[in-house]
Amino acid sequence: MTKRQAARKNEQIQRNRRWLKRAGQSLALVAGIAVIATAGRWLTQPSTLPVGSVHIRGTFVHVDREELRQAVEPFVKAGFLGLDMNGIRRSVEELAWVRQASVRRSWPAALAVSIEEQRAAAVWAPGGLINERGERFVPGEQGLADGELPVLSGPEGSEGKVMARFRGMKGKLAALGASITHLEMDARRAWRMQLNSGLTLRLGRREIDDRLLRFVRTYDGAIAPHLETIEYVDLRYTNGFAVQWKKSA
Protein backbone atom coordinates (compact mmCIF):
# COMPACT_ATOMS: atom_id res chain seq x y z
CA MET A 1 0.00 0.00 0.00
CA THR A 2 1.44 3.32 -1.00
CA LYS A 3 1.55 6.35 1.28
CA ARG A 4 -1.20 8.02 -0.76
CA GLN A 5 -3.50 5.03 -0.40
CA ALA A 6 -2.79 4.86 3.33
CA ALA A 7 -3.61 8.55 3.73
CA ARG A 8 -6.89 8.15 1.85
CA LYS A 9 -7.83 5.16 4.00
CA ASN A 10 -7.07 7.08 7.18
CA GLU A 11 -9.11 10.05 5.98
CA GLN A 12 -12.07 7.76 5.25
CA ILE A 13 -11.82 6.27 8.75
CA GLN A 14 -11.83 9.77 10.29
CA ARG A 15 -14.90 10.75 8.23
CA ASN A 16 -16.75 7.63 9.37
CA ARG A 17 -15.90 8.36 12.99
CA ARG A 18 -17.15 11.93 12.69
CA TRP A 19 -20.37 10.74 11.07
CA LEU A 20 -20.92 8.16 13.82
CA LYS A 21 -20.27 10.79 16.47
CA ARG A 22 -22.80 13.22 14.93
CA ALA A 23 -25.33 10.42 14.52
CA GLY A 24 -24.86 9.44 18.14
CA GLN A 25 -25.31 13.02 19.29
CA SER A 26 -28.46 13.37 17.20
CA LEU A 27 -29.90 10.17 18.59
CA ALA A 28 -29.08 11.27 22.13
CA LEU A 29 -30.78 14.63 21.49
CA VAL A 30 -33.89 12.96 20.09
CA ALA A 31 -33.98 10.56 23.00
CA GLY A 32 -33.56 13.44 25.47
CA ILE A 33 -36.40 15.40 23.89
CA ALA A 34 -38.62 12.33 24.01
CA VAL A 35 -37.81 11.79 27.68
CA ILE A 36 -38.50 15.45 28.50
CA ALA A 37 -41.78 15.43 26.55
CA THR A 38 -42.88 12.24 28.28
CA ALA A 39 -41.93 13.63 31.67
CA GLY A 40 -43.73 16.87 30.88
CA ARG A 41 -46.92 15.04 29.95
CA TRP A 42 -46.65 12.99 33.11
CA LEU A 43 -46.06 16.00 35.36
CA THR A 44 -49.01 17.95 33.91
CA GLN A 45 -51.43 15.11 34.58
CA PRO A 46 -53.79 16.34 37.36
CA SER A 47 -53.27 13.10 39.27
CA THR A 48 -49.47 13.51 39.33
CA LEU A 49 -49.31 16.85 41.18
CA PRO A 50 -52.83 17.71 42.39
CA VAL A 51 -53.57 21.03 44.05
CA GLY A 52 -53.62 20.27 47.74
CA SER A 53 -54.93 23.60 49.04
CA VAL A 54 -56.06 27.07 47.98
CA HIS A 55 -55.01 30.05 50.11
CA ILE A 56 -57.14 33.18 49.71
CA ARG A 57 -55.92 36.50 51.07
CA GLY A 58 -57.56 39.92 51.20
CA THR A 59 -59.99 42.06 53.15
CA PHE A 60 -63.51 40.74 52.78
CA VAL A 61 -66.23 43.30 53.38
CA HIS A 62 -68.45 42.86 50.34
CA VAL A 63 -66.81 40.01 48.39
CA ASP A 64 -68.63 36.70 48.88
CA ARG A 65 -66.15 33.98 49.87
CA GLU A 66 -68.37 31.23 48.48
CA GLU A 67 -68.59 32.95 45.08
CA LEU A 68 -64.81 33.33 45.11
CA ARG A 69 -64.35 29.63 45.87
CA GLN A 70 -66.69 28.71 43.02
CA ALA A 71 -64.75 30.98 40.63
CA VAL A 72 -61.47 29.17 41.42
CA GLU A 73 -62.67 25.58 41.81
CA PRO A 74 -63.01 24.60 38.11
CA PHE A 75 -59.36 25.50 37.45
CA VAL A 76 -58.02 23.44 40.36
CA LYS A 77 -59.03 20.21 38.61
CA ALA A 78 -56.22 20.75 36.06
CA GLY A 79 -53.56 19.98 38.68
CA PHE A 80 -50.73 22.07 40.09
CA LEU A 81 -48.69 22.47 36.88
CA GLY A 82 -51.75 22.62 34.64
CA LEU A 83 -53.27 25.65 36.37
CA ASP A 84 -54.41 28.42 34.02
CA MET A 85 -53.15 31.37 36.06
CA ASN A 86 -54.51 34.08 33.75
CA GLY A 87 -57.84 32.31 33.54
CA ILE A 88 -58.10 32.15 37.33
CA ARG A 89 -57.26 35.84 37.67
CA ARG A 90 -59.85 36.85 35.06
CA SER A 91 -62.51 34.65 36.66
CA VAL A 92 -61.92 36.19 40.10
CA GLU A 93 -61.85 39.76 38.76
CA GLU A 94 -65.27 39.25 37.16
CA LEU A 95 -66.82 38.93 40.63
CA ALA A 96 -68.69 41.89 42.10
CA TRP A 97 -66.58 44.08 44.41
CA VAL A 98 -63.23 42.63 43.24
CA ARG A 99 -61.03 45.41 41.85
CA GLN A 100 -58.05 43.23 40.99
CA ALA A 101 -56.61 39.83 41.80
CA SER A 102 -53.21 38.16 41.73
CA VAL A 103 -52.59 34.41 41.65
CA ARG A 104 -49.43 32.33 42.04
CA ARG A 105 -48.34 28.77 42.63
CA SER A 106 -47.00 28.03 46.10
CA TRP A 107 -44.80 24.93 46.11
CA PRO A 108 -45.25 22.12 46.46
CA ALA A 109 -49.03 21.90 45.96
CA ALA A 110 -50.87 25.12 46.86
CA LEU A 111 -52.54 27.92 44.94
CA ALA A 112 -52.39 31.42 46.44
CA VAL A 113 -55.06 33.97 45.46
CA SER A 114 -54.92 37.59 46.68
CA ILE A 115 -57.69 40.10 46.03
CA GLU A 116 -58.10 43.84 46.37
CA GLU A 117 -61.68 44.72 47.13
CA GLN A 118 -63.37 47.75 45.67
CA ARG A 119 -63.85 50.67 48.07
CA ALA A 120 -66.89 52.65 47.01
CA ALA A 121 -66.47 56.42 47.29
CA ALA A 122 -69.69 57.53 45.61
CA VAL A 123 -72.78 56.44 43.74
CA TRP A 124 -72.58 57.08 40.01
CA ALA A 125 -75.86 58.13 38.42
CA PRO A 126 -77.66 56.62 36.64
CA GLY A 127 -76.13 53.34 37.83
CA GLY A 128 -73.16 51.76 39.56
CA LEU A 129 -70.55 52.97 42.03
CA ILE A 130 -67.12 54.57 41.65
CA ASN A 131 -64.02 54.23 43.79
CA GLU A 132 -61.50 56.88 44.84
CA ARG A 133 -59.64 56.44 41.54
CA GLY A 134 -62.77 57.35 39.63
CA GLU A 135 -63.21 53.80 38.34
CA ARG A 136 -66.80 52.73 37.83
CA PHE A 137 -67.98 49.27 38.91
CA VAL A 138 -71.22 47.38 39.40
CA PRO A 139 -71.74 46.17 42.99
CA GLY A 140 -74.03 43.26 42.16
CA GLU A 141 -76.83 42.27 44.49
CA GLN A 142 -74.94 43.35 47.59
CA GLY A 143 -75.10 47.12 47.16
CA LEU A 144 -75.13 49.93 49.71
CA ALA A 145 -77.97 51.56 51.61
CA ASP A 146 -79.55 54.63 50.02
CA GLY A 147 -77.99 57.87 51.24
CA GLU A 148 -74.85 56.16 52.51
CA LEU A 149 -72.66 57.76 49.80
CA PRO A 150 -72.72 61.02 47.82
CA VAL A 151 -74.20 60.86 44.33
CA LEU A 152 -72.02 61.97 41.40
CA SER A 153 -73.00 62.23 37.75
CA GLY A 154 -71.59 63.36 34.43
CA PRO A 155 -71.28 62.46 30.75
CA GLU A 156 -70.10 58.99 29.76
CA GLY A 157 -66.43 58.53 30.53
CA SER A 158 -66.18 61.49 32.92
CA GLU A 159 -66.08 59.42 36.13
CA GLY A 160 -62.42 60.16 36.85
CA LYS A 161 -62.76 63.89 36.24
CA VAL A 162 -65.88 64.18 38.40
CA MET A 163 -64.29 62.23 41.24
CA ALA A 164 -61.16 64.40 41.13
CA ARG A 165 -63.33 67.53 41.29
CA PHE A 166 -65.35 66.04 44.15
CA ARG A 167 -62.21 65.40 46.22
CA GLY A 168 -60.99 68.96 45.70
CA MET A 169 -64.34 70.52 46.59
CA LYS A 170 -64.74 68.27 49.62
CA GLY A 171 -61.54 69.65 51.13
CA LYS A 172 -62.53 73.27 50.58
CA LEU A 173 -65.95 72.80 52.18
CA ALA A 174 -64.61 70.94 55.23
CA ALA A 175 -63.88 74.26 56.99
CA LEU A 176 -67.62 75.02 56.95
CA GLY A 177 -68.58 71.63 58.34
CA ALA A 178 -70.46 71.06 55.08
CA SER A 179 -70.41 67.96 52.90
CA ILE A 180 -71.47 67.28 49.31
CA THR A 181 -74.50 65.04 48.80
CA HIS A 182 -74.80 65.54 45.01
CA LEU A 183 -72.31 66.73 42.39
CA GLU A 184 -73.15 66.98 38.70
CA MET A 185 -71.25 67.93 35.57
CA ASP A 186 -73.76 68.32 32.74
CA ALA A 187 -73.27 67.84 29.00
CA ARG A 188 -72.10 71.46 28.68
CA ARG A 189 -69.41 70.78 31.36
CA ALA A 190 -71.19 73.09 33.82
CA TRP A 191 -71.07 72.13 37.50
CA ARG A 192 -73.78 72.06 40.14
CA MET A 193 -73.72 70.65 43.65
CA GLN A 194 -75.98 70.16 46.63
CA LEU A 195 -74.77 70.28 50.23
CA ASN A 196 -75.97 68.27 53.19
CA SER A 197 -77.91 71.37 54.34
CA GLY A 198 -80.01 71.13 51.16
CA LEU A 199 -78.41 74.24 49.65
CA THR A 200 -77.65 74.08 45.91
CA LEU A 201 -74.64 75.82 44.35
CA ARG A 202 -74.45 76.66 40.65
CA LEU A 203 -70.80 76.98 39.62
CA GLY A 204 -70.88 77.12 35.82
CA ARG A 205 -68.05 75.98 33.54
CA ARG A 206 -65.10 78.26 34.36
CA GLU A 207 -63.09 79.33 37.40
CA ILE A 208 -64.70 76.63 39.50
CA ASP A 209 -62.13 76.72 42.31
CA ASP A 210 -62.18 80.53 42.58
CA ARG A 211 -65.96 80.62 42.69
CA LEU A 212 -66.14 77.97 45.39
CA LEU A 213 -63.53 79.78 47.49
CA ARG A 214 -65.56 82.98 47.19
CA PHE A 215 -68.55 81.09 48.56
CA VAL A 216 -66.50 79.67 51.46
CA ARG A 217 -65.12 83.10 52.42
CA THR A 218 -68.54 84.75 52.49
CA TYR A 219 -70.51 81.83 53.91
CA ASP A 220 -70.52 82.77 57.61
CA GLY A 221 -71.52 86.39 57.05
CA ALA A 222 -73.80 86.26 53.99
CA ILE A 223 -75.17 82.72 53.69
CA ALA A 224 -75.31 80.97 57.05
CA PRO A 225 -77.74 83.45 58.72
CA HIS A 226 -80.25 82.93 55.88
CA LEU A 227 -79.63 79.26 55.11
CA GLU A 228 -83.20 78.14 55.80
CA THR A 229 -84.65 80.63 53.31
CA ILE A 230 -82.17 80.23 50.40
CA GLU A 231 -83.05 77.84 47.54
CA TYR A 232 -79.76 78.12 45.64
CA VAL A 233 -76.68 80.29 45.25
CA ASP A 234 -75.58 81.22 41.73
CA LEU A 235 -71.81 81.71 41.69
CA ARG A 236 -71.51 82.33 37.94
CA TYR A 237 -70.50 85.97 38.39
CA THR A 238 -67.11 87.66 38.15
CA ASN A 239 -67.17 89.58 41.42
CA GLY A 240 -69.98 88.12 43.46
CA PHE A 241 -72.97 85.78 43.47
CA ALA A 242 -76.74 85.82 43.33
CA VAL A 243 -79.20 84.22 45.75
CA GLN A 244 -82.53 82.66 44.86
CA TRP A 245 -84.86 82.79 47.86
CA LYS A 246 -87.32 80.07 48.60
CA LYS A 247 -90.90 80.91 47.75
CA SER A 248 -93.02 81.42 50.81
CA ALA A 249 -95.88 78.98 51.27
Strands (DSSP E) found in 58-157: 98-106, 110-117, 120-125, 129-131, 136-137, 151-153
Global pTM reads 0.75
Architecture of domain 53-117: Roll (3.10)
Q: What pLDDT score was predicted for residue 1?
A: 57
Q: What pLDDT score was predicted for residue 35?
A: 45
**How confident is the chain (249 residues) per 10-residue block, as mean pLDDT?**
58 59 58 49 57 90 91 92 94 95 92 95 92 91 72 96 96 93 97 96 95 94 92 92 84
Architecture of domain 120-245: 3-Layer(aba) Sandwich (3.40)
Q: What pLDDT score was predicted for residue 127?
A: 86
Residue 230: strand, helix, or coil: strand
CB 159 within 8 A of CB 129: no
Domain residue extents for the chain: 53-117, 120-245
Q: What pLDDT score was predicted for residue 126?
A: 83
Q: What pLDDT score was predicted for residue 12?
A: 59
